[in-house]
Amino acid sequence: MNEPIIYIVDDDPSVRKALMRLLNSAGMHTEAYASASDFLEFGNCDRKGCLILDVKMKDISGPMLHKKLIEQGCEMPIVFLTAHGDVPTSVEAMKKGAVDFLTKPVDASELFEAVQRALAKDRELRTIREEYSGFVENIQSLTPREYEVMTYVITGILNKQIAAEMSISEETVKVHRGRLMQKLKIVSVAQLVRLCEKTGIKSAIIKGDY
Amino acid sequence: MAKQVFNSDILIVDDQDASLQLLFELLDKKGYQIRWAESPQIALETATQKPPGLILLDVNMPGMDCFEFCMRLQKDKRTQQVPVIFISSENDLDSRVRGFEVGGVDCILKPFQEQEVLARVKTHMQMGEMKQNLEKLADKSPTELTKSIASLEKEIKTLKESEGRLRLVFENSYDTIVIAQDEVVKYCNSRITELSGYSIAEIYSMKFSELIHPDDKERVGSEYKARLSGYKAKNSYSVRIITKDEKEKHVLVSSALVTWNNEPATLAIITDITRLKEAEAKLIRSEERFRQLMEQSPLAMEILSPDGRIMVINSAWKTLWGVNDTEAAETIDKYNMLTDPQLEKLGVMDEVKEAFKGKHIVLPPIKYDTGQTKEDFDIMILEELISPWIQSQLYPVLDSEGNIAFIVNTYLDITELKNAGEMVRKSKDDFQILMEASPLGIAIYKPDGKIDQVNTAFKKLWDLSDEEMAVVIANYNYFTDKQIKSLGLSPMVERAFKGESIIMPPIDYEGNRTIKDLGLENIEAQTRTIQTHLHSVKDAKGEVEFVVIINKDLTDIKQAERDAQQQRESLARLDRASSMGQLTGSIAHELNQPLTGILSNAQAAQLMINKDKWDKQELNEILTDIVNDTKRAGSVIHNLRELYREQKIEFNPLDVCMLVEDTLQLLRSELIIQDTKINIDCPPSLPVVNGTEVMIQQVLVNLIQNGIQAMEKIEKDERVIRIDVVQDGSFVNIAVTDKGIGIDSDKIDHIFEPMVTWKPGGTGMGLAISNSIIESHGGKMWSRNNKLGGATVGFSIPIPAKTT
């Protein structure tokens, strides 16, 4: 359960089989699907791992599957494999968050590298997802005042300025700030800003001209 | 004729030159010696000097009265015995009577009747001679007289003997001889029984008139009376008698007065002419019938006399020459008045003469130029004939005795026939003109296989001058059958002579070689592509009269075709190149797929070996997969090369279904990109076709790409291309159907023409090339818009005749 799985989606059985064999020989676990719809039906997006996706396939193409996965909130990193290096398709894929866009025939080292990157990304994404889900939970424990201070903190202004804005003492701001950081298990303002942004918490509107 | 010379000459006394001349000629011709005197004085003088045998004396003479002249003659002893014949005009009875009174022996009436003059002159000359002889006798001695009497008695005896012979003759005569007195038969021979059926005894007891046909009795009676009265009537006459068995017979009676037992009697020689009469009647009837027939005949006829004159004509004759009765009579009169030399000039006399020798003569057709005839002889009434072409035939017609009686000349109007002939001749002329004018090389072969003639285009085709052509024809016609056969055309000519029309495939003739074969050296001739047609031309009887060989020079056409073919091929390459651009991605994909497999498999194996984690079976599988992928990549490259290569048509047996599948492989990526589904309906039982794989693939690619492009604007899940492969008789049909926008209706009839396109960015060459490819395979392309949208474009490839 802890080992990541490399999902291979390619409608060419020969390619499918060779890729599985290569990755397996490198000690990786693989699962192969002959079509996008097969993957959508049987694949598990929650699993640790990544997706090696062929671009040109019958019915549902690689980029289309990518789109569908995003829609479903599946963030599994994707390494695209294409036999036909067509620039617009690769740009579009990268924009949408593809880890790499490799052209066939692909060298083993190149492939392994991309897979490793994808797996790293997967790990990263998993960490972020865990952090985020804690944050959303912890935010409930904040007092209204602490929440308010937080909205000012993420604007990036100084404690003194927050105090002025809130018409409270600088000391009070410091106390609230310390407590909310503690409650949210956050170490830096940057992390807070990122998480708030992700959660959709809006920063306070600053009146003063700083 | 030798002149019969008489003892005495004739003295003509006449003052009128004309009649004197006439008499002179007449008598001179008969051999008499003639003297003549213009007046009685001269006549008297010459007569007394040498008495003539006879004197012909004109009654009306100047100077001396002719009667006085006669009396003077009488008085002179020398001239006493000379007989004088008066010549008198018919109505001068007085002088005739007087003439006889003064001693004239006879009288001849003017104008002269030749025969009469001669007869009378001859008689009186003889009488005069006899008189002279008698007188000489009288002068002789009595002993001589006694001698004469003795010889006379001897003669009487002889006479009696001859009477007996005569009786014998009588009895044995074929004719019936009768002697009658007062109509009572006194003597008759036995022939009477045969003639009349009565026995001789019966005949003796009856009157001869009883035998006579009642209608003829009166006539015979008057004849008889005339005979009795000494009237010298006809010697014989025909009369009908009734036989005992009451049959009618025609007899010819010749009668004479004789003395029977010192009484006057009538001798009648009766000849049975019944059969003659019947024949005559028949002849008359047949003559009538002939005349009727002639009259009714639509054929113009005329009867010609031996001297070539027209005797009778019929109505058709008048119609033919377009004359009425009067004009006809006038024309014939004029014609008959022509002199013999004129007739000779008309040129029919020789034939008429021949016909009178009994030959049936067919004259050559003559175009009558009436104007000419009129000008020459002034006979034809009409200026112009409607039917100028006439064929005449001369038939001799025999009489009952088998002699040629006359000639019938028939005129057959052959104008129409002649005109038809003219037309045939003219159409032959037209044919000649057409043949000459034809741009096609034409040679005409006769049934013996020899060249009869060739036209100008034929010479031009082989680049031969007239003289050279003549040599070629002569050589060809001089060839043996074997030699001709080696030239290759002969069996075709033979077939054509059996009535076949043959169109030979175009043949490239190496000009120099062919010319050399035909016996001409040192002549440069181009190599030519010639298509030969052989047509047999039949005559009216349906028999092959000759064979026309038409050489169509396809050299320029063939060259143009070759040029066009080259152009098409280069265009095809161009189009392939442009379609290669479109296909590059697709092909790269197809190539990269197996390469991916190969590379990945190989590297996997490397990893396994490096990690020392491998088993033999797995490595074997890996290698097998690598081999397969390599082959796959190889075939992709092979296909690629085929598409780029300059193609030559090389036919191989093709499995159409497999070909479709292979083609789809080429198009896989494109189909995926365009989200186009393919449905194939290809029965596995189809026969193989002959073709060049890549070319047909090219066509299929073209059609499928067109289909894909036609569906760019429609919903993705509706983008379906259906490929139907079916056998249709001796063809396999492959149809590609899309559900796209269809073909512009105004272009659908032209989409196989070059530069016609209905899609944006199309070169308009794809279907044109496809079409040329399919045509080169012997197939056809077609297209149609479908009712439910989209179009179907398909093609057919022939199935080889013997597919095993």
Q: Is the pTM of this model over 0.90?
A: no
Q: Which token pair is B343?
A: 């007739």
> Would you call B246 helix, strand, or coil by DSSP?
coil
What confidence tier does A171 reach under pLDDT thresholds 50, 70, 90? Answer: very high
Contact between B394 and B370 under an 8 Å Cβ cutoff? The reply is no
Contacts of residue A157, Cβ cutoff 8 Å, sequence gap at least 6: A165, A206, A210
Q: Given this model, what pLDDT does residue B737 score?
A: 93
Instruction: Give pLDDT, residue B733.
Output: 93
Taking the CA of residue B693 and the nearest CA in chain A, the distance in Å comes to 25
Architecture of the structural domain at B555-642: Orthogonal Bundle (1.10)
pLDDT of residue B130: 72
Handedness of CA B491, B493, B499, B504 (dihedral sign): positive
Tokens of B634: 């190889």
Q: B634-640: which pairs have CB atoms within 8 A and are 24 or more residues apart?
A: B636/B587, B636/B590, B636/B591, B636/B594, B637/B591, B639/B666, B639/B694, B639/B697, B640/B587, B640/B591
Contact A14 B597 (CB under 8 A): yes
Contacts of A104 in chain B (CB under 8 A): 592-593, 595-596
Q: What residues of chain B lie within 8 A of the CB of A18, using their CB?
A: 596-601, 604, 625, 629
Q: Which domains does chain A have, with CATH numbers?
A: 5-127 (3.40.50.2300), 142-199 (1.10.10.10)
Mutation pick from B596, B601, B626, B636 vs chain A, by most beta carbons of A within 10 Å, is B596
Q: Give the C-alpha separation, B622 to B167, whole Å.
A: 163
Residue B732, pLDDT score = 92
**B692 vs A: CB within 8 A:** no
pLDDT given at position A33 = 94
Instruction: Tell me, letter by letter, the H, E, C secondary structure of B612-647.
Output: CCCCHHHHHHHHHHHHHHHHHHHHHHHHHHHHHCCC
Number of cross-chain residue pairs from A and B with Cβ atoms under 8 Å apart: 95
Comparing C-alpha atoms, which of A121, A73, A112, A134 is closest to residue A94?
A121
In this model, does residue A88 exceed pLDDT 50?
A: yes
CB atoms within 10 A of CB B111: 9
DSSP string, A14-27: HHHHHHHHHHHHTT
Task: Kindly report the CATH number that applies to the domain delimited by B10-138.
Answer: 3.40.50.2300
Domain boundaries B438-553, corresponding CATH code: 3.30.450.20
Amino acid code (one letter) for B366:
I
Letter for the amino acid at A190?
A
- When scoring A8, A23, A56 by the number of chain B Cβ atoms within 10 A, the one with the most, hence best to mutate, is A56
- Write the residue in B596, B603, B607 that is nearest to A15 by C-beta: B596
Q: Do A21 and B601 touch (CB under 8 A)?
A: yes
What CA–CA distance (Å, rounded) separates B505 from B488? Answer: 13
SS3 content of chain B, % helix, strand, coil (to 5): 50, 20, 30
CATH class given for the domain over B647-804 = alpha beta
Which candidate, B448, B434, B440, B427, places its Cα nearest to that of B493? B448
CA of B617, closest CA in chain A: separation in Å?
13
With contact defined as beta carbons under 8 Å apart, do A138 and A186 qualify? no
DSSP letter assigned to residue B26: H
Q: What is the DSSP string of B422-444?
A: HHHHHHHHHHHHHHHH-SSEEEE
Chain A positions contacting chain B at CB under 8 Å are 12, 14-15, 17-19, 21-22, 24-26, 56-58, 61, 81, 83-86, 103-108, 111
Residues of B in contact with A21 (CB under 8 A): 600-601, 604, 618, 622
Q: Which residues of B touch A12 (CB under 8 A)?
A: 593, 596-597
What chain A residue is nearest to B613 in terms of C-alpha separation?
A25
Give the best residue of A10, A11, A12 to mutate against chain B (max B CB count within 10 A). A12
pLDDT, averaged in runs of 10, over chain B (804 residues): 52 76 78 80 82 82 73 80 78 72 75 76 77 64 65 73 69 78 80 83 81 82 69 67 86 78 79 77 70 74 79 80 79 78 73 77 69 56 57 73 75 68 67 76 79 82 77 74 65 75 74 60 67 77 77 77 68 59 63 87 90 87 90 75 58 87 82 85 87 85 87 85 91 91 79 60 63 83 87 90 57
B interface test, pick of A16, A17, A25, A57 with most B CB neighbours within 10 Å: A25
Identify the band that residue A9 occupies on the pLDDT scale cut at 50, 70 and 90: very high
Whether B574 and B765 have beta carbons less than 8 Å apart is answered as yes
Q: How far is B546 from B559, CA to CA, in rounded Å? A: 33
pLDDT at position A175, please? 93
* B608 contact A CB<8A: yes
B596 in contact with chain A, both atoms CB, cutoff 8 A? yes
Residue B227 to residue B197: CA distance in whole angstroms: 27
Residues of chain A with Cβ-Cβ distance to B611 below 8 Å are 25
CATH of domain B173-272: 3.30.450.20
Looking at beta carbons, which residues of chain A come within 8 Å of B618? 21
Peptide bond preceding A105 in cis form (omega within 30 of 0): yes
B34 token code pair:
């003639």
For B282, which DSSP code? H
- How many CB atoms within 10 Å of residue B594? 27
Superfamily of domain B300-419: PAS domain (3.30.450.20)
Q: Given strand A78-82, what is the order of strands in its sheet?
A: A29-33, A5-9, A49-54, A78-82, A100-103
Tell me how far apart the alpha carbons of residues B739 and B741 are, in angstroms, rounded to a whole number.
7
Cβ contact A108–B606 (<8 Å): yes
Q: Which pLDDT score, from 0 to 100, does residue B761 have?
A: 46
CB contact under 8 A, A83 and B611: no
